[in-house]
Amino acid sequence: MTAPVVSGKSSADIAVSMLAHLPGWSVAPSRFQDQHFTDLVRNDGARIAIYVGGPSGWAPKDRVVFAGQWPKFRDGSNYYASEPCPRITCRADRSAEKLAGEITRRLLPAYDAAYAKASEYVAQSNAAVGEAENIAARFVSMLGAEAKITHSRRGDAQRIWAPLESIYGLSVDPAWGDSPVSVAMEIRNLAPEVAFAVLEMIQEHEARANAAPVRVEAPVSVSREISDEDEELEVVEPLRRRIA
């Protein structure tokens, strides 16, 4: 299928002709072979898809549509909102300068506000997913070469297969809203002394988490950076001492 044309111009022709009047924007490579639309892209990731009227039906006859596009998540999936992304329709026979002026005047104020709000959500989601992925990778590193992440998709828990007889369903849930990142697992077939030690550690952890904060005036001391290994020892060593 050839690219649709309106008033002698394809969507790519219109996109290129407006660049001189839209500083900061460039033409992105076509996402489809038939080139039924063309994307303008900005350095912050914002995109405007350009559709022209004709047999394709992507825009009314003799019209050109400038449709804002939502940002993408880190895995390439699209952000979706309950309301459509802002768009405008113009006569296709107008000059490049006039069309660019319509984008600047009529589309960008609404689109920039909507894109900024969506981008904030996407950034928070990306950060939460990245945090969960890092924790899952740390579990895999602790459990050895046989351990592996068996499920990893945006918004879902990071599921880990653990080569241990006592651990089932190990997963890391990304932070969501007011809920912080959390880890879930099922523990089976423990020796009683191990189960008592694990339970005691959980009780102590929850007691500290639920206790009212106490302000302590501590003397100034030389601090050092806490490594991942230090954090693991804070949890693992007390458990080892309880079991021993």
Chain segment 194-230, per-residue pLDDT in tens? 999 999 999 998 998 888 666 656 555 544 454 555 5
- Helix or strand (DSSP H, E) at 170: strand 167-173
Same domain for 105 and 12: yes
Contact yes or no for 160/139 (Cβ under 8 A): yes
Same domain for 198 and 116: no
What are the tens digits of pLDDT across the range 80-117?
888 899 999 999 899 999 999 999 999 999 999 999 99
Same domain for 202 and 118: no
Q: What is the pLDDT of residue 226?
A: 46
Same domain for 95 and 19: yes
What are the tens digits of pLDDT across the range 15-28?
999 999 999 999 98
Q: How many alpha carbons fall within 13 Å on the CB side of residue 223?
A: 6
Residue 198 lies in a domain: yes
Beta-bridge partners for 148: 161
- What is the tally of structural domains in the chain? 2
Q: CB 9: neighbour CB atoms within 10 A?
A: 17
Which of 73, 64, 3, 62 lies closest to 31, judged by CA? 3
Same domain for 202 and 103: no
Of 85, 102, 124, the last residue of a domain is 124
Residue 205 lies in a domain: yes
User: By residue range, what is the domain housing residue 95?
Assistant: 5-124
Of 124, 143, 163, the last residue of a domain is 124
Residue 172 lies in a domain: no
Same domain for 120 and 196: no
Residue 62 lies in a domain: yes
Contact yes or no for 34/1 (Cβ under 8 A): yes
The proportion of the chain whose per-residue pLDDT surpasses 70, expressed as a percent, equals 78
Average pLDDT, stretch 131-154?
88
pTM of model > 0.85 = no
